[in-house]
């Protein structure tokens, strides 16, 4: 609303009763006008009353209203008899008398005409002294309007109501509407149809003889109907194919809260402006994006937009146990030929470590063998298993069941997992720092030595030369400051390498004497964004490392994750410049890795491979990237379609298949805990073994 005023040109006290305006009343005046034109009235008690009559004059002006600024009476327990009249077209018109004036004050209206004067009479009818002020009297002008509807889909017809005063035809000289889309109108209350989408600012100009007023309402009308668009990559590839979709909308920012993706079949893994979907079937898929900006729903469909082929691995998820095991925890998997072995821990109704085996790539499974029982919450959640040959199986795990100490144990089976020998304690917290929930990774070298590492407040090592019966070379190799995230590998010459992140570094230590002594720390990489997970593997005597990076965005208050890798050809002394492995943009849904148990590096045939599990809620497909040039460049991403809720797991590669075991559920709406194993099979060259942790 825009206002303007034309003020009275003078004010004076009327001498004596103004004719028949006041009948049988006497007029008494005490006081003077001050510089503002205030009127002060006093008087003694008498009846019928004491009157003050003032007259305000105007240059002739056409109007139908006046505005009085001031107060007719101020007493809380007193009121003033009041009468107001105007001189219009030469005649006096009484507008109000007595309490009626109170209800109309301060804006009074009358038939449109030429105003020349206003008279106000005040009558004191009770005892005491009271005051009244009239600062000014003016003719008001107002430019204003309303409209309905204020929003809708194109084409949108809007009815505008002119609320300007004095209203047409009372001295209105002209009216001009600007609808904000290039269209105008001179009608008093027009209608207008919008076809141009977006926000529109409406402007109304009303001109009277004394003045013109402009009322502007910014972004007053919203016309919806913007058609969204989207891009995606990759658009073709082998199934299962994960495709990243990014939606766009040409309308004003901040209006769209609902981005609804239809990928052509029911396998949605993400929604919002950025969509992630894994296309598991083979074929072509229409993709549709529908948006809702609060006013209109619009959509776009791209036909045959994504195409998948059948050359990727076929993934099957097997349930390896039939018994519901509440509070089961992370599984470890290993492969030898067609044999898959898994170990996992459980915490209810009793704690323990269990072993299962499949000799037909996961189709059938043995009954679980429990070879450790402990009190509640005593067994760590990350056991590690290795199958040395068809009969020999090794397992390590953390424990918290003996006198409140953290301990690391080793057990072995010599009959293929049907029975396990009595566990042997490798170390406890009194000897070296350890923690029951951190994994004790190990490798077996060419001479059968068992080489174990773990890290808590220190990076520690132990070895056994007699199949795990006794343990030697127990020592804290370093104190890198990281409580978890380390790893171990052995090269073709039986040199041992330990890797571990520590604050802004990833360090490596080497031993060439079976772990008796260790080199000083070699820097793999130095970066302020190092996260707590690093992994290492060897091919011949060359070393390959991968680690997780974490970047914090102050603007978005989000953490972004990505993976880097590097290579060393001199036993870890020097390393190549880091190369980013993943190609997922740094956006808020890029939670690449879950905890510290989901990143691995190794070799698939002659190709270097890095695998990880993104933390995308309850449906995280396994990601695998391969490199044919030792990690200098990375090829297209492969994803499995296995869907699970997991709690720490380890993955192993065989000659032409990969197996991943986990404990949890396949259904986010129910919580039975079973052991599941996903098996993804290729027809390809032989694979060399590596594991993820």
**Cα–Cα distance list, 154 to 185, 226, 288, 413 (Å):** 20, 9, 21, 74
pLDDT in tens, 47-101: 445 566 778 999 999 999 999 877 655 333 344 457 789 999 999 998 887 667 7
Cis peptide before 630 (omega within 30 of 0): no
Same domain? For 110 and 168 the reply is no
Q: Give the pLDDT score at 244.
A: 85
| H or E stretch covering 341 | strand 339-346
Report residue 405 CA to chain centroid gap. 41
User: 261 and 217, same structural domain?
Assistant: no
pTM: 0.57
Handedness of CA 328, 333, 338, 339 (dihedral sign): negative
Pairwise pLDDT comparison (345 vs 82), residue with the higher score: 345
Q: Supply the pLDDT for residue 19.
A: 36
How far is Cα 543 from Cα 563, in angstroms, rounded to an integer?
17
221 has a pLDDT exceeding 90: yes
pLDDT at 495 over 70: yes
Among the residue ranges 139-148, 621-630, 644-653, 670-679, the one predicted with the least confidence is: 644-653
Q: What CATH number is given to the structural domain containing 125?
A: 2.60.120
366 by DSSP, 3-state: which?
A: coil
Q: 156 with 265, same domain?
A: no
Q: What is the mean pLDDT of the segment spanning 422-444?
A: 89
Which domain-ending residue is among 93, 121, 141? Answer: 141
Based on C-alpha coordinates, what's the Rg of the chain? 43
Q: Are strands 236-238 and 297-309 parallel, antiparallel or unpaired?
A: parallel
Q: How many CB atoms lie within 10 A of CB 59?
A: 11
- Does the pLDDT at position 557 exceed 90? no
Residue 152 has pLDDT above 60, yes or no: yes
38 pLDDT above the threshold of 70: no
What CATH number does residue 391 fall under? Answer: 2.120.10.10
Domain of 98? 2-141
684 band by pLDDT with thresholds 50, 70 and 90: very low
**Which of 463-472, 504-513, 516-525, 527-536 bottoms out in mean pLDDT, i.e. has the lowest?**
527-536
What is the Cα 470 distance to its own chain's centre? 52
- 678 with 556, same domain: the answer is yes
DSSP 581: -
Q: How many CB atoms lie within 10 A of CB 552?
A: 10
Does 219 lie in the same domain as 90?
no
Q: Find the mean pLDDT for residues 391-418.
A: 89
The reply to whether 136 and 124 lie within a common domain is yes
d(CA 13, CA 96): 20
Name the domain boundary from 224, 246, 270: 224
Of 31-40, 363-372, 451-460, the least confident: 31-40
For the chain, what is the mean pLDDT? 80
pLDDT of residue 561: 77
Dihedral sign, CA of 530, 534, 537, 541?
Answer: positive
- 641's tokens: 């379609």
What pLDDT was estimated at residue 559?
A: 72
Between residues 15 and 192, the one the model is more confident about:
192
Give percent of the chain with pLDDT exceeding 90: 47
Q: What is the mean pLDDT of residues 288-294?
A: 91
Claim to verify: residue 283 and residue 331 sit in the same structural domain: no
Closest CA to 379 of 343, 412, 413, 414: 343
Q: How far apart are CA 86 and CA 90, in angstroms?
A: 10
Q: How far out from the chain centre does Cα 524 lie?
A: 34
The most confident of 120-129, 220-229, 619-628, by mean pLDDT: 220-229
Residues 286 and 382 in one domain: no
The answer to whether residue 364 scores a pLDDT higher than 50 is yes
Q: Would you say residue 354 has pLDDT above 70?
A: yes
Residue with tokens 């964004």: 529
Residue 303 sits in the same domain as residue 345: no
Residues 31 and 161 in one domain: no
Give yes or no for a contact between 194 and 179, defined as CB atoms under 8 angstroms apart: yes
* Residue range 12-28, pLDDT digits in tens: 776 444 333 333 223 33
Of the residues 109, 141, 173, which one is the last residue of a structural domain?
A: 141
Percentage of the chain lying above the pLDDT 70 cut: 76
How far from 554 is each of 273, 462, 504, CA to CA, in Å? 21, 43, 19
Give me the pLDDT at residue 634, please: 85
Q: Which helix (H) or strand (E) holds 639?
A: strand 638-639
Q: Is the pLDDT score of 35 beyond 50?
A: no
Please indicate whether residue 284 or residue 605 has the higher confidence score (pLDDT).
284
Q: Distances in Å between the alpha carbon of 438 and those of 330, 485, 596, 597?
A: 11, 9, 10, 10
553 confidence band (pLDDT: 50, 70, 90): confident
CA dist 649 → 264, 296, 385, 646 (Å): 32, 46, 11, 7
Indicate whether 510 pLDDT > 90.
Answer: yes
- The total number of structural domains in the chain stands at 4
Does residue 281 surpass a pLDDT of 60?
A: yes
Q: Does residue 613 carry a pLDDT above 70?
A: no
pLDDT bin (cut points 50, 70, 90) of residue 682 is low
The pLDDT of residue 593 is above 50: no
Q: Both 182 and 292 in a single domain? A: no
Give the pLDDT score at 236: 86
The pLDDT assigned to 211 comes to 95
Q: Is 475 helix (H, G, I), strand (E, B) or coil?
A: strand
The SS3 assignment for 19 reads helix
What pLDDT, on a 0 to 100 scale, did the predictor assign at position 659? 81
Helices and strands, counts by H and E, the chain:
1, 51
CATH number at residue 246: 2.60.40.10
- pLDDT score at 154: 95
Average pLDDT score over residue span 131-151 = 86
Residues 137 and 173 in one domain: no
In sequence order, what are the beta bridge partners of 566? 545
Q: Which one has a higher pLDDT value, 177 or 329?
A: 177
């Amino acid at each position: 609303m825009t206002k303007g005023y034309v003020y009275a040109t003078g004010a004076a006290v009327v001498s004596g009763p103004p004719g028949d305006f006041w009948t049988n009343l006497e007029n008494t005046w005490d006081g003077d006008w001050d510089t503002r034109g205030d009127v002060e009235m006093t008087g003694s008690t008498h009846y019928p009353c004491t009157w003050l009559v003032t007259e305000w004059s105007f240059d002739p002006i056409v109007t139908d209203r006046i505005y009085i600024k001031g107060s007719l009476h101020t007493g809380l327990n007193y009121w003033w008899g009041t009468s107001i009249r105007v001189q219009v077209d030469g005649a006096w018109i009484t507008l109000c008398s007595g309490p009626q004036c109170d209800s109309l004050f301060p804006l009074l209206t009358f038939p449109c005409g030429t105003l020349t004067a206003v008279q106000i009479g005040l009558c004191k009818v009770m005892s005491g002294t009271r005051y009244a002020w009239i600062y000014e009297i003016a003719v008001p002008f107002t430019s204003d309007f309303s409209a309905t509807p204020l929003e809708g889909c194109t084409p949108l017809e809007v009815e505008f109501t002119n609320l300007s005063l004095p209203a047409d035809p009372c001295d209105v000289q002209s009216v001009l509407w600007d609808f904000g889309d290039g269209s105008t109108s001179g009608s008093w209350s027009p209608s207008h149809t919008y076809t141009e989408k977006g926000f529109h600012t409406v402007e109304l100009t009303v001109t009277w003889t004394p003045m013109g007023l402009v009322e502007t309402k910014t972004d007053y009308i919203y016309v919806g109907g913007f058609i969204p668009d989207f891009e995606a990559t990759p658009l073709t590839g082998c199934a299962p194919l994960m495709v990243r979709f990014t939606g766009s909308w040409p309308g004003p920012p901040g209006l769209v809260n609902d981005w609804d993706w239809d990928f052509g079949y029911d396998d949605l893994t993400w929604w919002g402006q950025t969509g992630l979907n894994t296309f598991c079937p083979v074929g072509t898929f229409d993709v549709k994006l529908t948006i809702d900006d609060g006013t209109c729903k619009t959509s776009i469909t791209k036909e045959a937009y994504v195409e998948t082929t059948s050359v990727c691995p076929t993934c099957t998820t097997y349930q390896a146990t039939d018994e519901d095991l509440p509070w089961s925890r992370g599984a470890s998997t290993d492969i030898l030929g067609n044999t898959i072995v898994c170990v996992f821990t459980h915490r209810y109704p009793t704690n323990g470590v269990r072993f299962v085996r499949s000799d037909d790539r996961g189709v059938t499974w043995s009954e679980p063998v429990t070879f450790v029982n402990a009190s509640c919450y005593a067994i760590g959640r990350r056991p590690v298993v290795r199958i040395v040959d068809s009969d020999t199986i090794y397992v390590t795990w953390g424990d918290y069941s003996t006198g409140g100490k953290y301990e690391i144990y080793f057990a072995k089976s010599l009959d293929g997992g049907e029975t396990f020998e009595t566990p042997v304690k490798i170390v406890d917290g009194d000897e070296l720092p350890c923690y029951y929930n951190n994994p004790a990774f190990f490798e077996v070298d060419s001479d059968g030595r068992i080489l174990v590492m773990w890290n808590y407040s220190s990076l520690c090592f132990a070895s056994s030369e007699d199949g795990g019966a006794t343990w030697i070379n127990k020592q804290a190799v370093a104190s890198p400051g990281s409580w978890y995230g380390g790893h171990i590998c052995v090269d073709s010459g039986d040199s041992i390498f330990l890797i571990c992140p520590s604050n802004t570094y990833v360090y490596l230590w080497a031993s060439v004497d079976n772990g008796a002594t260790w080199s000083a720390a070699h820097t793999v990489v130095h970066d302020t964004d190092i996260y707590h997970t690093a992994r290492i593997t060897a091919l011949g005597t060359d070393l390959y490392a991968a680690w997780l990076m974490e970047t914090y965005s102050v603007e978005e208050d989000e953490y972004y994750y990505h993976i880097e890798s590097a290579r060393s050809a001199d036993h870890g002394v020097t390393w190549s410049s880091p190369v980013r492995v993943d190609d997922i943009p740094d956006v808020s849904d890029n939670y690449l890795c879950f905890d510290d148990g989901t990143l691995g590096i190794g070799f698939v045939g002659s190709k270097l491979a890095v695998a990880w599990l993104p933390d995308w809620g309850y449906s995280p497909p396994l990601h695998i990237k391969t490199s044919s040039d030792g990690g200098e460049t990375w090829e297209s991403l492969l994803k499995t379609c296995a869907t699970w809720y997991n709690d720490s797991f380890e993955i192993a590669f065989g000659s032409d298949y990969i197996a991943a075991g986990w404990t949890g559920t396949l259904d986010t709406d129910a919580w039975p805990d079973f052991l599941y194993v996903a098996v993804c099979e290729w027809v390809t060259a032989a694979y060399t073994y590596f594991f993820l942790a």
